[in-house]
A = this chain, B = another copy of it.
Amino acid sequence: MRPVILGAIGAGRIGKLHAENILRMPEVRLKIITDPFMDDGWARSWGLSTAPDPAAVFSDDEIEAVLIFSPSPLHAEQIIAAARAGKHIFCEKPIALDPGQIRRALKVVAGEGVKLQVGFNRRFDPDFRRVKQAVASGEIGQLYLIKITARDPAPPSTEYVRESGGMFLDMTVHDFDMVRYLSGSEVEEVYAAGTVLVDPAIGEAGDIDTAITTLRLKNGALAVIDNSRQAVYGYDQRIEAFGSKGSITAGNRTPTQTILTTTDGVVADKPLVFFLERYQESFRAEIEEFIRAVREDRETPVTGQDGLASTLIGIAANESLKKGEPVRIAE
């Protein structure tokens, strides 16, 4: 196995998680991690070299690939800078909220001939991979229906809501990607029914917190996603794919498999609390696959085009919500 040398940009919550995972991979070296507000104690305990500025990564000739974990508004420009420095790129989602900006970044990536992988980590979850396999292998026959439940344990701050691009671009965009991944089909039309039930402040910030989104796929199948910004019992992430030969469901993951039976009932664990716990395996696996793509010079498993496509569905969902009618997805 050829060693791969990486540089990372951003050491916030998600950057730290990825960095610690990378340290556990054989034949991979995280040469440097940059952050203007570095947590030095953390970096020291893991023996990591740091710098405040991403330029330290772009200018290092030994670094073959860049991992972008910085705040979302910086993603597009950093992708462009990394591509121009001739480095392969892993970038957390979203590339940008504006399709024009995404297209500009993708154009530079294509022009420089570097690889780009977008952080739709859920594609690497073992449960959802099993669902994908059941669809792709024909185990459930011709696909009729995909159903996704995705509910957060608690709503974000209204400041976050205002910057997020709205629930469809911030939260449902993962589910749009999942529909495309599982079905292997593009989406043709979207109808979004959304409302504010969890917290009026979310409505005042111009967003919704509860939605049912119906998708018509190009392959003829239907999909439906239900989202909520608040499931008080935890992070609720379930998927069903239903077809001519049967159905496959992925249920929630729980801290333990124990069941307590008392006069109060038969009580199982609540779902894992939030995405860091729920998707810890997929966060590791997506980076492993990115490194494999770099090492073996193969295509990345989630492309820039995938990042763009889900954003376009989100934008159409926003428009459907506003108009109160189904909207076709832009090409």
- On whether A262 and B191 interact (CB within 8 A), knowing A23-B24, A224-B224, A226-B145, the answer reads no
**A212-B214, A325-B326 given; A195·B220 CB < 8 A:** yes
Is A81 on the interface with B (CB-CB < 8 A)? no
Cα-based distance from A211 to B247 in the complex (angstroms): 16
Determine whether the beta carbon of A24 is less than 8 Å from that of B24. yes
Does A31 sit within 8 A of B, measured CB to CB?
no
A20 to B270, CA, bound (A): 31
Supposing A1-B45, A247-B231, A257-B253 touch, asked if A193 and B220 sit within 8 A by C-beta, the answer is no
* A233 close to B (CB within 8 Å): yes
A164 at the interface (CB under 8 A from B): no
Given contacts A195-B222, A222-B210, whether A250 and B261 have CB atoms under 8 Å apart is: no
Closest Cβ of chain B to A291, distance in Å, is 14
Distance in angstroms between the alpha carbons of A246 and B153 in the assembled complex? 11
Per-residue contact bits, chain A 240-254, to B (CB 8 Å; 1 contact, 0 not): 001011111111111
A70-78, A99-107, A123-131 - interface stretch: A123-131
In A182-228, the 8 Å CB interface with B consists of 191, 193, 195, 197-198, 210-212, 214, 216, 220-222, 224, 226, 228
Q: How far is the CA of A226 from the CA of B253 in the complex (A)?
A: 24
A-B contacts, 20 listed (Cβ < 8 Å): A23-B24, A26-B45, A27-B45, A126-B256, A127-B257, A130-B258, A134-B258, A140-B260, A144-B198, A145-B210, A151-B242, A197-B244, A228-B242, A232-B244, A233-B262, A251-B258, A261-B270, A263-B270, A265-B270, A325-B325
5 additional A-B residue pairs with CB within 8 Å, beyond A126-B256, A232-B246, A266-B267: A127-B258, A141-B232, A214-B214, A248-B261, A265-B269
The 10 closest A-B pairs by CB, nearest first: A246-B262, A266-B268, A265-B267, A251-B257, A26-B45, A24-B24, A127-B256, A130-B258, A325-B325, A233-B261
Interface residues of A (CB under 8 A from B): 1, 20, 23-24, 26-27, 45-46, 126-127, 130-131, 134, 139-142, 144-145, 147, 149, 151, 191, 193, 195, 197-198, 210-212, 214, 216, 220-222, 224, 226, 228, 230-233, 236, 242, 244-270, 324-326
